[in-house]
Structure formats: structure tokens, C-alpha cells
């Protein structure tokens, strides 16, 4: 059971412990570990599904999470189209900066609401995942000519990302977040619904990575900022680029 404990991020610990209890003790440690990894990836919104057996596992785990009120995960229907399925999923999650601002305007005008506002902007402009944002503190941030964030993210991989320089004044005052995982998800669902742009928190990351690709940031650099192990994962975002680059312009496009 020790290995199972090792993969649980503190922000998700209570939810995943509940899920572990629900699975009972008839399963082997190896199977429990795999199911908890699936649950965590589903909650993070980042579970690649490339086989029917994996899809069935994910659907089963998502059903248990929903039945117990731990998390509500939308599992798209299975298809054999490979990456096309991921493309369609990501496409539905991408939002424009204009729509993002509409959602921010619907957030509660409270201390927690203002924290969530900052948490969402950090995600939208840096590509951090929800659990990475909520565990962020001033110790992860360095401000000089740029705002640099250094974190240990998914898979315990160390990576560096950045924030726009116009956020430097408020980031200087930042110490950490007190909002919970549940508050973040429920409030975002309510506020994005009011704005008519219903999204999950992970959509902020998808939107950030798509913007980088559309602005011509080299794919290896996007991969490094995103923390992707495989560049083929990053390459999915190339499909959302509709920019005509200099080489095409030379050909008369």
C-alpha cells in the first residue's frame, strides 16, 4: 500500500483515499495502484485512452467517482480513431481570451472568489494543471525581468513555465492559495455556466498550449513548458493552428 500513498498529491488525498476505500480490499495492491492512477488522471483531465480496455477501465472508475460524489467526469464515447478522439476532446475545451474574461466577471466578489480569479489566470497564462496551481507558493516563483515558475508537476517531473510580466505586482504579494479543490471546481462550473461558456479548469491549460502553438513557439519549447514526456502529445495542438506562416506566404497563400 505504500506505493499507493506515494502517488497521491496532497490536494487530492482525501478524495483518492475515499476512492481507495470504496474499491474494497479484494483487489491486489497493483490493481488498486492502477485504478487510483486512473482516478487521479481523470480528475486532472489528462488521461490518454488509446485502447478499448483502457476506455472500459476509465469508464468504470469515472462511474464510481460520480456515484460517490467525489468527481463528475465526462467520458466521451469510445472510438477507434486514435488521436482524433483526443483532438475532438481538446477542441471542445479550448476557449478564447474573450470568453475567459467573461467567466472571470462571473466569479464571486469575495475573498475566495478573488483567489479563484488569480488561480484561473495563473493557469490560463502558464499552463499549470489545477493541482499544480493550488499547491503553488511564493517559493516556486522568481521575479526579475520575467515571472518564472519552477514546479514539480505531473509524474514528479521538474519544469519551468512563465507568467505575463504585467502580473508582476500582484504576484509579488502572492504567498499561496487557501481555496480547496472542491470550491474551485464547483465555483468554476457555476460561473462558467452563467457566462455561457461552461468549461473545466483543465480547459485553461489546453487554451494556453494552443495559444503558444498558434503564436509560433517551437514545438520542443512548448513540450518543455507543458511538461509532456512525449512530443507527440504536444503535437496534437498543431491541429488547432490556422495561421499562415512565412513559408506559405512565399508560395502565395
- Give 42-77 pLDDT, tens digit per residue: 776 666 666 667 777 777 877 777 777 776 666 655
Q: Confidence class of residue 171 from pLDDT cuts 50, 70 and 90? A: very high
Predicted local distance difference test score (pLDDT) of residue 73:
65
Q: Which residue did the predictor score with more confidence, 211 or 105?
A: 105
- Between the ranges 13-17, 21-25, 182-186, where is the mean pLDDT highest? 182-186
Cell of 141: 516563483
Highest mean pLDDT out of 59-63, 125-129, 207-211, 244-248: 125-129
Structure confidence at residue 16 as a pLDDT band (50, 70, 90): low
SS3 content of the chain, % helix, strand, coil (to 5): 60, 5, 30
Q: Calculate the CA 64 to chain-centre distance.
A: 21
* pLDDT, the chain, mean: 78
Q: Measure the CA–CA gap between 51 and 149, rounded to whole angstroms.
A: 35
Q: What is the pLDDT of residues 109-162, one digit of tens each?
A: 999 999 999 999 999 999 999 999 999 999 999 998 899 999 887 767 789 999
- Are the C-beta atoms of residues 12 and 43 closer than 8 Å to each other? yes
The answer to whether residues 16 and 39 touch, using CB atoms and an 8 Å cutoff, is yes
Q: Which of 69-73, 97-101, 119-123, 231-235 has the lowest mean pLDDT?
A: 69-73
Determine the pLDDT at residue 10.
Answer: 43
Query: What domains appear along the chain, each with residue ranges and CATH number?
Result: 2-78 (no CATH), 94-246 (1.10.443.10)
Place of cell 467526469: 73
Q: What is the pLDDT of residue 155?
A: 67
**What pLDDT is stored for residue 14 in this prediction?**
64
Higher pLDDT, residue 235 or 162? 162
Query: Who contacts 182 (Cβ-Cβ below 8 Å, separation ≥6)?
Result: none
- pLDDT bucket at 245, cuts 50 / 70 / 90: low
CA–CA gap between residue 201 and residue 128 (Å, rounded): 10
Q: Which pLDDT does position 4 carry in this prediction?
A: 34
pLDDT band for position 218 (cuts 50, 70, 90): confident
Report the distance separating Cα 247 and Cα 144, nearest Å. Answer: 36
Amino acid at each position: 500500500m505504500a506505493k499507493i500513498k506515494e502517488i497521491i498529491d496532497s490536494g487530492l488525498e482525501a478524495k483518492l483515499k475515499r476512492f481507495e476505500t470504496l474499491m474494497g480490499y479484494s483487489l491486489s495492491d497493483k490493481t488498486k495502484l492502477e485504478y487510483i492512477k486512473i482516478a487521479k488522471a481523470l480528475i486532472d483531465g489528462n488521461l490518454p485512452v488509446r485502447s478499448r480496455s483502457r476506455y472500459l477501465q476509465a469508464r468504470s472508475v469515472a462511474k464510481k467517482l460520480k456515484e460517490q460524489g467525489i468527481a463528475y467526469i465526462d467520458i466521451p464515447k469510445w472510438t477507434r480513431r486514435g488521436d482524433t478522439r483526443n483532438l475532438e476532446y481538446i477542441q471542445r475545451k479550448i476557449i478564447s481570451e474573450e470568453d475567459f474574461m467573461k467567466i472571470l466577471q462571473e466569479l464571486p466578489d469575495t475573498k475566495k472568489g478573488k483567489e479563484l480569479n488569480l488561480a484561473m489566470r495563473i493557469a490560463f497564462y502558464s499552463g499549470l494543471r489545477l493541482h499544480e496551481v493550488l499547491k503553488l507558493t511564493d517559493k516556486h516563483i522568481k521575479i526579475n525581468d520575467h515571472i518564472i515558475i519552477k514546479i514539480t508537476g505531473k509524474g514528479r517531473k521538474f519544469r519551468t513555465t512563465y507568467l505575463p510580466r504585467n502580473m508582476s505586482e500582484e504576484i509579488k504579494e502572492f504567498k499561496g492559495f487557501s481555496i480547496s479543490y472542491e470550491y474551485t471546481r464547483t465555483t468554476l462550473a457555476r460561473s462558467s455556466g452563467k457566462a455561457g461558456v461552461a468549461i473545466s479548469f483543465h480547459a485553461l491549460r489546453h487554451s494556453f498550449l494552443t495559444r503558444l502553438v498558434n503564436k509560433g513557439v517551437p514545438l520542443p519549447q512548448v513540450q518543455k513548458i507543458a511538461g509532456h514526456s512525449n512530443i507527440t502529445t504536444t503535437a496534437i495542438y498543431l491541429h488547432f493552428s490556422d495561421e499562415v506562416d512565412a513559408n506559405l506566404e512565399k508560395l502565395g497563400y
